[in-house]
Amino acid sequence: MNTNNGINIIKKFVPSAIFFLFLLVLWQMVVVILGIEEFILPSPISIGKVLFETSDLLWKHSIQTANEAILGFILAIVAGVILAIVMGLIPLIKRLLYPLIVVSQTVPIMAIAPLLIIWFGYGMLPKIMVVALVCFFPITVSLVEGLEAVDRDMVKLLISMGASTWQVFKKLRFPSALPSLFSGLKISATYSIMGAIIGEWLGASRGLGVYMTRSMKSFLTVRVFASIVVISLLSLLLFGIINILARLLMPWYYER
């Protein structure tokens, strides 16, 4: 990534950053002027103070949630990419499995998560599996659709030159599908933290989901908002990592 690209990226996000700061100032003014109680709507300054004062506790819970999210995300990537490649190479497998994958998304994750806890206990495994289930669909579908969207004329050209099915896949179809794959990865990266939180809500001893539940039950609304800030930062961090990897692996796509 050259310097000009870095400057362009910074310029791209400056308007959003300015607007976000405006919203924070407006939020602070509304809370102060209207005299809203902290347990109803805390001010940004109060949230910032709590973030600082409880940083050690938040860090401990954040590490747990991040571990669950990352492990589940990696599991979803491995399973989703392998299944998408198999469906891309074998049309019969796609016809058999693709409708089932779509139908699986009609089942609420909140209905599946308690079953996973019953079957596998209250450890990390159920949370990892919840994250994997949440992240699996965007990755798989994005890659499958990307593999199907390849230029047919290019495929015919390679076949006419004697390329095998695997060579066409390796040299053309998979590289062409990378932008779609990374789009799915970006979506799943933001979902991963949410999946870990859902798993923790249903049964855990540590994690940001546990921290939020305890704070809500104690009417410590400011701590709930503090945990939301941390969750958002973790999601943005994962999204940023995927975005950086995309730019490193697909410089040709971002230089267009």
For residue range 173-227, what is the model confidence (pLDDT) as tens digits? Answer: 888 899 999 999 999 999 999 999 988 888 778 899 999 999 988 888 999 999 9
How would residue 3 be classed by pLDDT, with cut points 50, 70 and 90? Answer: low
Which CATH architecture group holds 43-254?
Orthogonal Bundle (1.10)
pLDDT at 2 over 60: no
Question: How is residue 31 written in tokens?
Answer: 């809370």
In whole angstroms, what is the distance from residue 205 CA to residue 65 CA? Answer: 11
How would residue 256 be classed by pLDDT, with cut points 50, 70 and 90? Answer: low
Residue pair 180/142 in contact by the 8 Å Cβ criterion: yes
In whole angstroms, what is the distance from residue 200 CA to residue 126 CA? Answer: 9
Which DSSP string do the residues of 52-118 spell out, in sequence order? HHTHHHHHHHHHHHHHHHHHHHHHHHHHHHHHHHHHHH-HHHHHHHHHHHHHHTTS-HHHHHHHHHH
Which DSSP string do the residues of 12-64 spell out, in sequence order? HHHHHHHHHHHHHHHHHHHHHHHT--TTTS--HHHHHHHHHHTHHHHHHHHHH
Question: How is residue 111 written in tokens?
Answer: 């209905």
pLDDT of residue 188: 94
In whole angstroms, what is the distance from residue 232 CA to residue 227 CA? Answer: 9
Helices (H), ranges, 149-220: 152-160, 165-168, 174-201, 208-217
How would residue 70 be classed by pLDDT, with cut points 50, 70 and 90? Answer: very high
Residue pair 72/241 in contact by the 8 Å Cβ criterion: no
In whole angstroms, what is the distance from residue 111 CA to residue 7 CA? Answer: 46
How large a percentage of the chain has pLDDT more than 90? 52
The size of the chain, in residues, is: 256
Q: What backbone phi and psi angles, to 5 degrees, belong to 35? A: 65, 40
| pTM score | 0.87
133 closest CA partner among 156, 151, 115, 155: 115
What's the whole-number mean pLDDT along residues 94-112? 86
pLDDT at 124 over 90: no
What's the whole-number mean pLDDT along residues 109-117? 83
pLDDT of residue 8: 62
